[in-house]
Amino acid sequence: MIDRTKLRDKMAFIENNLRLLREISKLPAEKFTTLTTDFHAAVRLLQISIEAMIDIGNHIVAQERLGVPKTYGEVFRLMADANVIPRSFLETTEKMVKFRNRVVHLYSDVDPMEVHNILCNNLDDFNVFIGFIVKRYFS
């Protein structure tokens, strides 16, 4: 059985992180790339927001018995197979998972300009994901 409280808490966690990320995104690129505290805060907030999406996905996959994912990317593929998220959103989730993996395993290679670009152009992807979950489990 889907634990809607768990989903709600994870979505609220992501939304709170997005508020902080939107504040950081207001910094001009030149300033963002020189302010290491803001850069590191943004990287960590993005990482844990992606991990919260993965947690939501893992909960849904387990509770709906959609399969046993071997990778984080597979979590989202199983969700798409079950029409929880559209297949067209998989490219977005794949990029998010790859970014998360680089942050965790290749952290010294994360480019501040790439992070600033994500802040300015991709934060709405989190809201899109939340929208799919709300539509499926709260409508």
Which residue numbers are catalytic? Answer: 100, 105
Cα 34 from Cα 43, distance rounded (Å): 14
For the chain, where are the alpha helices, taking DSSP H only?
4-25, 29-32, 36-63, 72-81, 90-105, 112-121, 124-137
Q: Which candidate, 45, 18, 23, 48, places its Cα nearest to that of 124?
A: 18
Q: Which candidate, 55, 95, 114, places its Cα nearest to that of 79?
A: 55
